[in-house]
Structures are given as C-alpha cells and as structure tokens.
A and B are shown apart, each in its own frame.
Chain A
Amino acid sequence: DTEVTQTPKHLVMGMTNKKSLKCEQHMGHRAMYWYKQKAKKPPELMFVYSYEKLSINESVPSRFSPECPNSSLLNLHLHALQPEDSALYLCASSQVHLSGNTIYFGEGSWLTVV
C-alpha cells in the first residue's frame, strides 16, 4: 500500500479565514513533504519534515504554517492567504529524507482563495 491521503480535496477560503489541510500516511515513512503546484507548472517544494522535525523550509511565507503531530500526520495551517496562493497543495512521504528514497504523493488539495 503506497497511499498518501489528503483532506479536503477542495477548499475555498476568504483572505481572513483560518483553515487547515491534512495529510496522512500509514506506510511507516519518517519523511513528509508539502509541495505547491500552480496550473501548468511542476510541483515546488515548500516544507520537509524528517522524524517529525522541520528540516527544510523553502522560504515559505509565514501565512503557511506546517505541523507534524506524529509520524503519520502532517498538517498545513493557512491564515491570511492571498488570491495568488490558490493552487494544488500536494502532500508526499518517503521512508526517510535521503537521496534515492522514493517520494509518494497524495491526490492533493485544491485551494481557492477569494
């Protein structure tokens, strides 16, 4: 089973709202990732968690706040977003965060900021 589950599938939020995206995997993976994908573009790395600790933040604005409550769960808290933040947000996981560890992606959460 190589499944990464993301909820919600679609989210519409206003610029003053606070919402969260959730991600879950039960493959025993110890590395989890958030990527952002705009239309017709490749995914861009936002955050990497390794053993529940944040190991990479690709200079993401603080209106995006990741959280890893345990080794199976990864959240992305959203607050005061801008319309240009509308995108597909992809969660992914791998056994560990090392070169050569295959990264498995979820189906994504489509976010629209109005």
Chain B
Amino acid sequence: GEDVEQSLFLSVREGDSSVINCTYTDSSSTYLYWYKQEPGAGLQLLTYIFSNMDMKQDQRLTVLLNKKDKHLSLRIADTQTGDSAIYFCAETGNTPLVFGKGTRLSVIA
C-alpha cells in the first residue's frame, strides 16, 4: 500500500530554521499536507501543496515538493518555542489520507 516516511525527531535552537522532510510512494498523489499536533490537541492543518507545484510559501512556512523524487519538506523560519509539536506529513491520491508517523520538533530556548 501507499507509504509516507518521516524522520521521528528534530531538535533546533530558537531563532534557527527547521526543516522537516517527508518521502512518499504514491505516484498518483495529488495533494500533500502538513499537519501540526501540539500535546493533548487535535490536528491543525498548517499548509498543503498541489502536486503540480514545486514550492509554496506562507509567512514563516515554506513547502518544497520534488515530485520526481517524491520528496516533500517543510521549512519553518525563525523557529519559536511555540512551534514545538509533532508534524505529520500526509498525502492523498486515489486513497484516503495517508499519514507519516510524525516528526517531533523540539525547540531549545
């Protein structure tokens, strides 16, 4: 079946940039998403990108998509302590939403 892979942990210093990476296998993926989950909370949609785009920027967030390599990344500029959370990459193509295992971002003050 379709698979989405992410590294499990990332630690950055406050003020630095964070880059969270994701790879997926579904060549029919049409939309790719980043969700943020803070402790004890639900999933917050951060941003998404359509598969015919290669970049999307939204304030501190930059999403890069390399469709050839099936690689997606989320860059958070000027990372703050409030950005500490689990970030899930997800894709949808011909199947319902498929999630990666999530990357736990820790921000060190």
Q: For A106, list chain B residues within 8 Å (CB).
A: 42
**Size of B's binding interface in residues, CB under 8 A:** 22
A64 CA / B48 CA spacing, docked (Å): 31
- Answer whether residue B33 sits at the interface, using C-beta atoms and an 8 A cutoff: yes
Q: For A6, list chain B residues within 8 Å (CB).
A: 42
- Answer whether residue A68 sits at the interface, using C-beta atoms and an 8 A cutoff: no
Quick check: B92 and A100 within 8 Å, CB to CB? yes
Q: Is the interface of B mostly helix, strand, loop or mixed?
A: loop
A64-95 interface with B by 8 A CB criterion: 88, 90, 92
Quick check: B42 and A90 within 8 Å, CB to CB? yes
Q: Is the interface of A mostly helix, strand, loop or mixed?
A: loop
CB contact between A43 and one of B31, B40, B43, B44 (< 8 Å): that residue? B43
CB contact between A105 and one of B44, B48, B92, B93 (< 8 Å): that residue? B44
A40 CA / B88 CA spacing, docked (Å): 11
- Answer whether residue A99 sits at the interface, using C-beta atoms and an 8 A cutoff: yes
